[in-house]
C-alpha cells in the first residue's frame, strides 16, 4: 500500500486500526458526499482520527481514495463456468455490480480524471486497479485456450495487431470500456440480457480478427 516492508524500530508503532477506520470512513464519505465534496478533515473526523494521521500515511485525497477503492476490485473473481461465453458474462456482471456501488462509481472516474495530469497517480491506479482487472482477461483467455475455444498464441507477427499482448489489451479495453460507458455515461443498467448480447458480440468479433 504505502509502506511495503517497513523496518520501523523505535517509538510508538502505527495503529493498524487507524488504517482500516480511515479507509472505511473514506468509502462512507464517498457514498454520502461523492468525490467533489469529500474532504480530508471530514474523513479524519469520521474515522475518529487526527488529520495529521491521514497525512502521515497518504499524500492527499487522490492517493487515499485510490487505496480506499482498490480493495473493492480485489473481490472480482473468474469462476469457471465451463465456457468462455459464460465466463465473460459472469465477469461483466461482476464488474457492473461493482460499478453500481456509489463509492466505486464516483471515485473511479474522479481519480482517472485527476490522473490525466499526474503521472504518479496514473501509475498508482494502474497497479491498484487496472492490472487487477486485466489479470482476469489473461486468465480467462488462457483457460479458453486450454479448452480449445481459442487458438494458442502465435509468435509475434508484425504490425497487424494480432499478437497476444495486443489482443489482451484490446479485449480488456472493450470489456471494461463498454461496461463503464454504459453504466456511467449512458446511465443504463447492465443486466444479464445486455451481458449476453455484448459477450456474443465480443466473441464474434474475436473470431473475426484472427
Partner DNA sequence: AGGTAAGCGAGACGGTACGTCGTGTCTTGGT
Partner DNA sequence: ACCAAGACACGACGTACCGTCTCGCTTACCT
**Contact residues: a copy of itself, CB under 8 A:** 34-36, 102, 105-110, 112-118, 122, 125-126, 130, 159-162, 166, 169-170, 172-174, 176-182, 184-188, 193-194, 196-198, 200-209
| Shortest spacing between CB 110 and DNA, in angstroms | 13
Q: By CB under 7 A, is residue 192 in contact with DNA? A: no
Question: Do the Cβ atoms of 96 and 37 come closer than 8 Å?
Answer: no
Q: By CB under 7 A, is residue 41 in contact with DNA? A: yes
Q: Give 39 or 156: the residue with its C-beta nearer to DNA.
A: 39
Residue 155 binding: pick among a copy of itself, DNA, none (C-beta 5-8 Å cut-off by kind): none
Q: Using the rule CB under 7 A, which residue among 23, 29, 61, 88 binds DNA? A: 61
| DSSP codes, 42-98 | HHHHHHT--HHHHHHH-SSHHHHHHHHHHHHHHT------SSHHHHHHHHHHHHHHH
Q: Running DSSP on this structure, what letter comes out for residue 5?
A: T
| DSSP codes, 118-147 | -HHHHHHHIIIIIHHHHHHHHHHHHHHHHH
Q: Using the rule CB under 7 A, which residue among 4, 5, 8, 185 binds DNA? A: 8
Q: By CB under 7 A, is residue 4 in contact with DNA? A: no
Question: Do the Cβ atoms of 149 and 80 come closer than 8 Å?
Answer: no
Binding site for DNA (CB under 7 A): 8-15, 18, 37-42, 48-53, 55-57, 60-61
Amino acid at each position: 500500500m504505502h509502506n511495503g516492508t517497513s523496518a520501523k524500530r523505535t517509538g510508538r508503532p502505527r495503529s493498524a486500526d487507524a488504517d482500516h477506520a480511515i479507509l472505511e470512513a473514506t468509502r462512507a464519505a464517498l457514498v454520502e458526499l461523492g468525490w467533489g465534496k469529500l474532504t480530508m478533515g471530514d474523513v479524519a473526523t469520521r474515522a475518529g482520527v487526527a488529520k495529521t494521521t491521514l497525512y502521515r500515511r497518504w499524500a492527499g485525497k487522490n492517493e487515499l481514495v485510490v487505496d480506499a477503492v482498490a480493495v473493492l476490485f480485489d473481490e472480482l473473481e473468474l469462476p469457471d463456468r465451463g465456457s468462455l461465453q459464460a465466463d465473460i458474462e459472469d465477469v461483466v456482471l461482476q464488474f457492473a455490480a461493482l460499478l453500481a456501488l456509489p463509492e466505486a462509481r464516483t471515485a473511479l472516474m474522479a481519480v482517472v480524471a485527476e490522473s490525466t495530469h499526474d503521472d504518479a497517480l496514473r501509475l498508482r491506479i494502474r497497479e491498484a486497479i487496472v492490472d487487477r482487472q486485466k489479470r482476469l482477461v489473461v486468465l480467462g483467455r488462457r483457460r479458453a485456450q486450454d479448452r480449445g475455444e481459442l487458438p494458442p498464441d502465435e509468435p509475434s507477427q508484425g504490425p497487424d495487431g494480432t499478437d497476444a499482448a495486443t489482443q489482451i489489451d484490446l479485449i480488456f479495453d472493450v470489456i471494461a470500456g463498454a461496461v463503464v460507458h454504459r453504466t456511467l455515461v449512458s446511465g443504463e443498467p447492465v443486466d444479464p440480457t445486455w451481458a449476453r448480447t455484448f459477450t456474443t458480440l465480443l466473441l464474434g468479433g474475436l473470431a473475426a480478427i484472427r
